[in-house]
Amino acid sequence: MKSIKTKEVAVLLIGPFNDTFDYLIEENINEISVGQIVSAPFRQRKVVGIIVSEGSKTISQSKLKTLIDIYEIDPIPLPTIDLISFLANWNCVYKGLVLKMVLSPLEAIISPQYNKIYKYNLEDSLSIDSIDNKKLRSKRKLVLDALINSDKEVYETSLIQDIGVSKTVLKDMVNKNLIIEKLIKIMPDFSKNFIKSNDIKKENDKLLNEHQKNAVDKINKSILKDKTDCFLLDGVPGSGKTETYFETVRTCLNERKQVLILLPEIALTPDWQKRFYNKFNFNPLVWHSDVSKKKRKEIWLSALSGTAGVIVGARSALMIPISKLGLIVVDEEHEPAFKQEENVRYNARDMAVYRANRSSATIVLASATPSLETFYNMRMGKYIHLTLPKRATGADMPDIKLLDLKLYPPQKGNWISPLLINEIQNKLLKKEQTLLFLNRRGYAPLRVCNSCGNKVKCINCETWLVEHRLVNLLTCHHCGYSKHISNICEVCGNKDQMKSCGPGVERIEEEVQRLFPEAKSITLSSDTMKNQNLLTNAIEQIKNSEVDIIIGTQMVAKGHDFPKLKLVGIIDGDIGLSGGDLRASERSFQLLQQVAGRSGRHTTSSNDKGIVYLQTFDTENPIIKAIAQNNRDEFFEKELISRKNANMPPYGRLAAIILSSKFESDLDSFASDVSRLAPSFKNVKIFGPAPAPMYFLRGKYRRRFLIKSDKTVNIQKVLIDWTKKVHKPSNINLTIDIDPFSFM
Ligand code: ADP
Ligand code: ZN
């Protein structure tokens, strides 16, 4: 803790601020430190912020306002304060808005929970006799008796329970000076969150193989020496990465240091949590958007006080001010879900590396298909490479077979090739499971009129509506707009000419039921698995072999371990191959490899290997070929070369400016203002303004600039200097996206 001696302090307030404001602290307060959470008067309002340093002394004391509150709560740790600055500067966003993410939920700070305790009012003391003589109604006498007989204060709850007195009576007694009330702040009790090593269930400990042991040893050494190493834990799906990092979590807990595990939201499954519990005998603190405010408040406070052992969460968990951080794990580090695309745009994985570094904590990035950036950093020696080359269960990797749809097309109106149908039949006979993967929700990606060619579009976005037949709706996946499915074309008015175009998982399920009426099938997508309970049940059913055929979107691609699953059929291997954006190939590769990795994870002999059928029209495509040959590194090398030639990340820098507005002509004239003021540097190329591929989204028109530069350029400074020069009308939004993931 860095204490402050002056009476003037610099405060960073929540809000659109980069600069701090000076305030005075009251004379009677002697001890104050950096990171302390305060509230301050600001433009007739009370705003929460944190003290970041001594005052700047640029304004005379007499003109300064005094802080309103200094909250009785541990100060925000210095590494988190550093993170606020770094994240804000890197991503060109306001520090005060990053602070808002850190101080969330704000209720944890400004409205602490209290217990009421009572004691007998000695100053106004009455002897028992005089109480007896007083005409106090019986409950009150009992309360006084209880307080006189107890030498300590008594909790409100126990008075209510033991005596049956009401809160109103207690309040009345306080008002009449018979008893004294005190408020005690409740701190959440998370004493169970750290384990003693003998608490761990030994029967759930797996004997680690040599690769796992080697990885654990290296990571443990780093944890024990407080080093800030960054590890890439790189292992094929099922190689025991989770088991490996669990082991290092244990080391960290034994050192009484806290652990943060970041998972993409989609992987935060009950399955994972169960596995954690089986190993450690306590539940980690789970943090994501669906967790109640009350729970988040508890987690936040215990993280700050150092009593939370393990916090597992989606990307926003990175902002929790953990005071004694020893280890961060970013599992599935390649996942785009770590990039936040709205409000404050940032990449939680990259910021996690910084956060760990500032805390002298170890960080582990785990993946079977690392992102190209991480792979590159490993190549450059920034990250330490730990490999788990084999499946931990001893099972062989699956055989991947390309299924050429030109040679073996499905029947008209169907999507599963006869070859794959045959293979599914085989598996059904052997009572083994099949997974059919298609990364498309709903019944069909669009609905089109056979008569006039009209495709049903969203009214708010430049996109087609997706048909969801189960709920009889056409829905926009961008803005949520939906309407009923109709058989009449809105454009030509013809009846019964509307056709569903292309498949979604619902349609595949329909086909499966038609082809294998006896088989039990289940669809896993965000539409069918709306809550954790449904998903838990589905996973249970699959594990208990109550399901023969699983149909799923990317929801099934990751993390799950289904022992009976022997066949994976990829319905459309070509989706996303021609996406055209920077990471299209990389992402397709990752997703396909992840899905393929579900097959045959627990097979015992080599003639019983898992099989993957990849349906494609493009067997010569380099990504498809790399998947088929299980040749990840060669694919990565090629991809790196092509990025290098194009001076794209990780070799060059990339950023975007996105302008949006409800008013198209205002937008265009503003875009040309921005363009006119564009800087001109040798190493910076500016493209645009161009209508965004999604040029109309959620009711707003959109234009984009793409900025490309050499790695030596401070692209943030270029962008800030540039955008500062333009006068932005209030009906236009301007967003800067550093290292964009989405190019829409
Ligand atoms: P990953 O995270 O790499 O996908 P997991 O840690 O989930 O791999 O392990 C895959 C499967 O192998 C799980 O069922 C796990 O219990 C099992 N497993 C992991 N390590 C071992 C080991 N050393 N011995 C036996 N089984 C293991
Ligand atoms: Zn829409």
3-state secondary structure of 149: helix
**Per mean pLDDT, which range of 126-135, 177-186, 390-399, 546-555 is the poorest?**
126-135
The per-residue pLDDT for 121 is 76
User: Distance, CA 212 to ligand 1 centroid (Å)?
Assistant: 10
Domain containing 673 equals 652-738
Is residue 76 domain-shared with residue 121, that is, in the same domain?
no
For 684-703, what is each residue's pLDDT tens digit? 999 988 888 788 888 999 99
Most confident of 238-247, 262-271, 454-463: 238-247
Task: Please tell me the number of the ligand nearest to residue 598's CA.
Answer: 1
What total number of domains does the chain contain? 6
Decide which of 191 and 252 is more confident.
252
For 505-541, what is each residue's pLDDT tens digit? 999 999 999 999 999 999 999 888 887 788 888 989 9
Task: Please tell me the number of the ligand nearest to residue 698's CA.
Answer: 2
The per-residue pLDDT for 546 is 95
Task: Please tell me the number of the ligand nearest to residue 481's CA.
Answer: 2
pTM for this model (two decimals)? 0.85
Give the domain CATH number at 11.
Answer: 3.40.1440.60
Residue 645 lies in a domain: no
Residue 393 lies in a domain: no
Block residue for tokens 């407080």: 226
Long-range contacts of 206-210 (CB under 8 A, 24+ apart): 206/240, 206/243, 206/392, 208/240, 208/243, 208/244, 208/247, 209/240, 209/390, 209/392
Widest CA span of the chain, in angstroms? 103
For 538-552, what is each residue's pLDDT tens digit? 989 999 999 999 999
Q: Can you tell me the mean pLDDT for 60-87?
A: 93
Is residue 217 domain-shared with residue 335, that is, in the same domain?
yes
The whole-angstrom separation of Cα 126 and Cα 120 is 10
In this predicted structure, the answer to whether residue 196 has a pLDDT above a threshold of 80 is no
Nearest CA to ligand 1 atom 27: 392
Average of per-residue pLDDT values in the chain: 89
The structure tokens listed for 228 are 């800030």
In this predicted structure, the answer to whether residue 197 has a pLDDT above a threshold of 60 is no
Residue 676 lies in a domain: yes
The per-residue pLDDT for 177 is 82
Question: Which residue ranges have their beta carbon within 6 Å of ligand 1?
Answer: 206-209, 212, 235, 237-243, 392-393, 561
For 89-117, what is each residue's pLDDT tens digit? 999 999 999 999 999 988 878 876 777 88
Decide which of 744 and 50 is more confident.
50
The per-residue pLDDT for 70 is 92
The per-residue pLDDT for 128 is 55
Give the domain CATH number at 660.
Answer: 3.30.70.600
Q: Ligand 1 pocket test: which of 236, 241, 243, 335 has the largest number of ligand atoms within 8 Å of its C-beta?
A: 243
Nearest CA to ligand 1 atom 5: 240
- Cβ–Cβ under 8 Å, residues 699 and 662: yes
Is residue 601 domain-shared with residue 704, that is, in the same domain?
no
Q: Ligand 1 pocket test: which of 244, 393, 560, 602 has the largest number of ligand atoms within 8 Å of its C-beta?
A: 393
Q: Given the CA of residue 244, which atom of ligand 1 is nearest to it?
A: 6
Is residue 700 domain-shared with residue 623, that is, in the same domain?
no
Is residue 214 domain-shared with residue 249, that is, in the same domain?
yes
Residue 743 lies in a domain: no
In this predicted structure, the answer to whether residue 178 has a pLDDT above a threshold of 60 is yes
Is residue 224 domain-shared with residue 296, that is, in the same domain?
yes
Is residue 268 domain-shared with residue 363, that is, in the same domain?
yes
β strands within 45-113, DSSP E: 45-54, 69-70
Residue 355 lies in a domain: yes
Task: Please tell me the number of the ligand nearest to residue 464's CA.
Answer: 2
Q: Given the CA of residue 212, which atom of ligand 1 is nearest to it?
A: 23
**Per mean pLDDT, which range of 67-76, 179-188, 359-368, 480-489 is the poorest?**
179-188
Residue 744 lies in a domain: no
User: Distance, CA 19 to ligand 2 centroid (Å)?
Assistant: 38
**The domain boundary residue, chosen from 162, 185, 208:** 185
Nearest CA to ligand 1 atom 23: 208
- Cβ–Cβ under 8 Å, residues 185 and 72: yes
**The domain boundary residue, chosen from 76, 105, 134:** 105
The structure tokens listed for 367 are 């993946």
Q: Give the number of other Cβ atoms within 10 Å of residue 501's Cβ.
A: 14
Tell me the pLDDT band of 240, cut-offs 50, 70 and 90: very high
Tell me the pLDDT band of 213, cut-offs 50, 70 and 90: very high
The per-residue pLDDT for 602 is 84
Residue 710 lies in a domain: yes
The per-residue pLDDT for 126 is 57
User: Distance, CA 276 to ligand 1 centroid (Å)?
Assistant: 13
Give the 3-state DSSP-derived string for 181-233, with helices as H, strands as E and coil as C: EEEEECCCCCHHHCCCHHHCCHHHCCCCCHHHHHHHHHHHHHHHCCCCCEEEE
The structure tokens listed for 645 are 């030639």
The per-residue pLDDT for 107 is 82
Give the domain CATH number at 283.
Answer: 3.40.50.300
Residue 646 lies in a domain: no
β strands within 359-432, DSSP E: 362-367, 384-388, 399-404
The structure tokens listed for 690 are 């161009």
Tell me the pLDDT band of 65, cut-offs 50, 70 and 90: very high
In this predicted structure, the answer to whether residue 202 has a pLDDT above a threshold of 80 is no
Is residue 259 domain-shared with residue 374, that is, in the same domain?
yes
The per-residue pLDDT for 34 is 96
Is residue 697 domain-shared with residue 721, that is, in the same domain?
yes
User: Distance, CA 234 to ligand 1 centroid (Å)?
Assistant: 14
Q: Can you tell me the mean pLDDT for 411-439?
A: 95
The per-residue pLDDT for 188 is 58
Is residue 478 domain-shared with residue 581, that is, in the same domain?
no
Is residue 27 domain-shared with residue 89, that is, in the same domain?
yes
- Cβ–Cβ under 8 Å, residues 566 and 428: no
For 567-581, what is each residue's pLDDT tens digit? 999 999 988 776 667
Phi and psi (nearest 5°) for 608? -120, 25
Is residue 298 domain-shared with residue 430, that is, in the same domain?
no
Tell me the pLDDT band of 395, cut-offs 50, 70 and 90: confident
The per-residue pLDDT for 127 is 54
User: Distance, CA 569 to ligand 1 centroid (Å)?
Assistant: 23
The per-residue pLDDT for 513 is 96
The whole-angstrom separation of Cα 617 and Cα 406 is 6
**The domain boundary residue, chosen from 59, 85, 105:** 105
User: Distance, CA 467 to ligand 2 centroid (Å)?
Assistant: 13
